[in-house]
């Protein structure tokens, strides 16, 4: 049972009455078995595991406006689509704005006060005076759990805090309340922040992080930062931060003129965080979205495609990330015919959920999980010769008996095989577009050190070289 504060919702806005009292509620459920064991950090501090010790590869989707834009039926369609495609985490805003209203017309807050959630007694969907904004979130979170999907919740989007609309006291009260409501959900992960620099309102982000930690215990918490920044810059040593997240962002190399970070080289964020002490897991929580303009705002620019998404995924994971989050412009905003499109969205969400990139992400997850999970490390030292720059970059990861090397444009992969303690090995090509493996052959240690991928060298002709001790 959970302690919460209730507000009674009267039919007319002018008749809104605030009724503060302590009550006990039992979280609503869908009646289906929970398929989401609690997640925790692995023993070597590099990966996520379930409470049973099973490896967990985070394959996320940015469904930011899910709670406000989709009906129950639409949420079922979206979550089932993602489940079938191998996604196991949805990143979603709880409060995009303090004036948040969902698809059923239910308001989240009283007078836009973050510490005044508008909650009604009961949760019957058949009674409009019972089913409120928070009941709808309950329903979707429970629905996701029944499908084995984790919900990474952003309590309040960063722009609201940056604008000065959330005080320290309000942040603490709200964090305590929302942690009380969802703190026992095994499929809830917390994303503090929300597209904001940690240097902006640092005190409030620490209040939210610490309060959620105090009131939830074992749920994982991270910080979703501003584009081309990483949570470690501000919060790496905070006890409430379980793993680091970076947002590599939506700009091309030539568009990244601010000097903030690394342009499209998202592997550099992973490399930097991987080297930090204390050791904490790291991942790219927002790379360039499929179907969004390069640079984000200018719709006359080319749009990012599925091949770009694959590059961000393989580069970051091979650099040491424990998972990867995909995104599509139309899906993250759940763009529909009645909307004004943001960021030049060109298709509606219900067709964009089947965009090519969304179907290809599972092949990265399947490849990583097909090998011994906890021994995997980045291994750029196995490259023979100079490393390529920008799109010529070769990403390498390995375990004791296998090696994976990724090229995005079909560049030759030259390896120093003398560093592998193998007498005989099997070589194959793995196609990131369809997950198919083609064997090259079995070789002795003094075999070929240069591997030429299928096809001509061109951007998007990406391949994974698999070497396995034989």
416: domain CATH number is: 2.60.40
Distance, CA of 104 to CA of 72 (rounded, Å): 10
Residue 252 belongs to domain spanning: 31-369
Distance, CA of 319 to CA of 272 (rounded, Å): 10
Distance, CA of 265 to CA of 268 (rounded, Å): 6
In a domain, 1, yes or no: no
Inter-axis angle of helices 168-182 and 133-146, nearest 10: 50
Q: In the structure, what pLDDT confidence band is assigned to residue 447 with cuts at 50, 70 and 90?
A: low
In a domain, 21, yes or no: no
In a domain, 143, yes or no: yes
Q: What is the distance, to the nearest Å, from the Cα of residue 94 to the centroid of all Cα atoms in its chain?
A: 15
CB atoms within 10 A of CB 344: 17
For residue 260, the model assigns a pLDDT of 61
Antiparallel, parallel or unpaired: β 150-154 and 89-93: parallel
Same domain, 384 and 300: no
Of the candidates 369, 396, 411, which is a domain's last residue? Answer: 369
For residue 446, the model assigns a pLDDT of 79
Same domain, 225 and 350: yes
Same domain, 237 and 328: yes
For residue 77, the model assigns a pLDDT of 98
For residue 257, the model assigns a pLDDT of 76
Distance, CA of 29 to CA of 184 (rounded, Å): 13
- State whether residue 423 is helix, strand or coil: coil
Nearest to 349 by CA among 152, 79, 83, 78: 78
Of the candidates 369, 387, 408, which is a domain's last residue? Answer: 369
For residue 380, the model assigns a pLDDT of 97
Give the C-alpha distances (Å, rounded to integers) separating 265 from 20, 228, 249: 51, 10, 10
The predicted-structure confidence for 79-104, as pLDDT tens digits, reads as follows 999 999 999 999 999 999 999 999 99
DSSP state of 336: -
**Contact at 8 Å (CB) between 116 and 109?**
yes
The CA radius of gyration of the chain, in Å to the nearest whole number, is: 23
In a domain, 223, yes or no: yes
In a domain, 124, yes or no: yes
| Number of domains into which the chain is organized | 2
In a domain, 26, yes or no: no
For residue 468, the model assigns a pLDDT of 97
Residue 256 corresponds to which tokens in the numbers above?
């990244």
Q: In the structure, what pLDDT confidence band is assigned to residue 309 with cuts at 50, 70 and 90?
A: very high
In a domain, 206, yes or no: yes
Unique residue bearing structure tokens 């501000």: 234
For residue 16, the model assigns a pLDDT of 29
- State whether residue 115 is helix, strand or coil: coil
Sign of CA dihedral 173, 175, 181, 184: negative
CB atoms within 10 A of CB 320: 22
* Mean pLDDT taken over the chain: 92
- φ, ψ (nearest 5 deg) of residue 131: -80, 110
**Contact at 8 Å (CB) between 367 and 430?**
yes
Q: What percent of the chain has pLDDT over 70?
A: 91
**Contact at 8 Å (CB) between 264 and 228?**
no
pLDDT at 30 over 50: no
Same domain, 61 and 112: yes
Same domain, 65 and 114: yes
DSSP states along 100-150: -B-TTS-BSBSTT-TT-B---S---TT-TTT--HHHHHHHHHHHHHHTT-E
Q: What is the distance, to the nearest Å, from the Cα of residue 18 to the centroid of all Cα atoms in its chain?
A: 36
Q: What percent of the chain has pLDDT over 90?
A: 88
Same domain, 96 and 117: yes
Q: What is the distance, to the nearest Å, from the Cα of residue 124 to the centroid of all Cα atoms in its chain?
A: 31
Nearest to 194 by CA among 172, 236, 163, 149: 163
What is the mean predicted confidence (pLDDT) over 46-74? Answer: 98
pLDDT at 456 over 80: yes
Same domain, 400 and 308: no
Distance, CA of 434 to CA of 307 (rounded, Å): 12
Same domain, 341 and 465: no
Instruction: Name 430's bridge partners.
Output: 437, 464
Same domain, 87 and 46: yes
The burial class, CB within 10 Å (0-12 / 13-18 / 19+), for 439 is exposed
The pTM of the full predicted model, rounded to 2 decimals, is 0.93
**Contact at 8 Å (CB) between 315 and 393?**
yes
For residue 35, the model assigns a pLDDT of 86
For residue 451, the model assigns a pLDDT of 96
pLDDT at 31 over 50: no
Same domain, 358 and 416: no
In a domain, 11, yes or no: no
For residue 3, the model assigns a pLDDT of 32
Residue 458 corresponds to which tokens in the numbers above?
């061109």
Residue 140 corresponds to which tokens in the numbers above?
């979707």
Same domain, 313 and 385: no
**Contact at 8 Å (CB) between 297 and 329?**
no
Inter-axis angle of helices 266-274 and 306-318, nearest 10: 20
The predicted-structure confidence for 225-264, as pLDDT tens digits, reads as follows 999 999 999 999 999 999 999 999 999 999 987 766 688 9
Of the candidates 311, 344, 369, which is a domain's last residue? Answer: 369
The burial class, CB within 10 Å (0-12 / 13-18 / 19+), for 438 is exposed
Instruction: Name 247's bridge partners.
Output: 229
For residue 34, the model assigns a pLDDT of 52
Ranges assigned E (strand) in 258-345: 282-284, 323-326
**Contact at 8 Å (CB) between 308 and 289?**
no
Same domain, 344 and 416: no
pLDDT at 127 over 50: yes
Q: In the structure, what pLDDT confidence band is assigned to residue 445 with cuts at 50, 70 and 90?
A: confident
């Amino acid at each position: 049972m959970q302690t919460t504060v209730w507000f009674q919702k009267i039919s007319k806005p002018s008749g809104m009455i605030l009724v503060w009292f302590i009550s006990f509620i039992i979280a609503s459920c869908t009646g289906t078995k929970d398929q989401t064991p609690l997640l925790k950090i692995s023993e070597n501090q590099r990966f996520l595991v379930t409470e049973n010790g099973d490896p967990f590869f985070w394959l996320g989707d940015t469904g930011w406006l899910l709670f406000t834009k989709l009906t129950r039926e639409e949420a079922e369609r979206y979550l089932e689509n993602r489940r079938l495609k191998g996604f196991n985490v949805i990143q979603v805003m709880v409060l995009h704005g303090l004036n948040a209203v969902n698809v059923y017309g239910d308001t989240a807050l009283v007078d836009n006060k973050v510490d005044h959630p508008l909650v009604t007694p009961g949760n019957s969907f058949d009674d409009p005076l019972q089913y409120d904004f928070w009941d709808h979130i309950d329903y979707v979170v429970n629905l996701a759990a029944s499908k084995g999907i984790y919900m990474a919740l952003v309590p309040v989007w960063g722009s609201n805090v940056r604008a000065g609309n959330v005080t320290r006291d309000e942040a603490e009260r709200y964090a305590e309340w929302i942690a009380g409501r969802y703190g026992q959900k095994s499929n809830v992960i917390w994303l503090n922040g929300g597209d904001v620099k940690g240097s902006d309102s640092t005190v409030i982000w620490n209040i939210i992080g610490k309060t959620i930690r105090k009131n939830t215990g074992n749920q994982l918490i991270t910080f979703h930062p501003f584009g081309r920044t990483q949570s470690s810059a501000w919060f790496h040593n905070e006890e409430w931060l379980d793993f680091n997240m970076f947002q590599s962002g939506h700009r091309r190399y030539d568009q990244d003129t601010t000097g903030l970070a690394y342009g499209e080289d998202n592997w550099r964020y992973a490399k930097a965080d991987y080297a930090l002490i204390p050791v904490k897991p790291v991942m790219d929580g927002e790379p360039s979205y499929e179907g969004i303009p390069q640079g984000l705002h200018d719709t006359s620019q080319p749009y990012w495609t599925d091949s770009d998404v694959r590059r961000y995924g393989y580069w970051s994971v091979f650099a040491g990330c424990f998972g990867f989050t995909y995104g599509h412009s139309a899906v993250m905003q759940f763009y529909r015919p009645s909307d004004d499109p943001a960021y030049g969205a060109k298709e509606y969400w219900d067709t964009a959920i089947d965009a090519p990139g969304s179907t290809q992400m599972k092949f990265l997850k399947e490849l990583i999980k097909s090998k011994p999970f906890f021994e995997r490390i980045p291994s750029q030292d196995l490259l023979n010769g100079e490393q390529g720059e920008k799109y010529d970059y070769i990403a390498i990861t390995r375990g004791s008996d296998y090696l994976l090397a990724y090229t995005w444009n079909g560049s030759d992969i030259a390896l120093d095989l003398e560093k592998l303690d193998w007498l005989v090995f099997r070589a194959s090509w793995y196609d990131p577009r369809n997950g198919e493996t083609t064997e090259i052959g079995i070789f002795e240690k003094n075999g070929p050190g240069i591997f030429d991928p299928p096809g001509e060298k061109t951007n998007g002709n990406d391949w994974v070289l698999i070497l396995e001790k034989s």
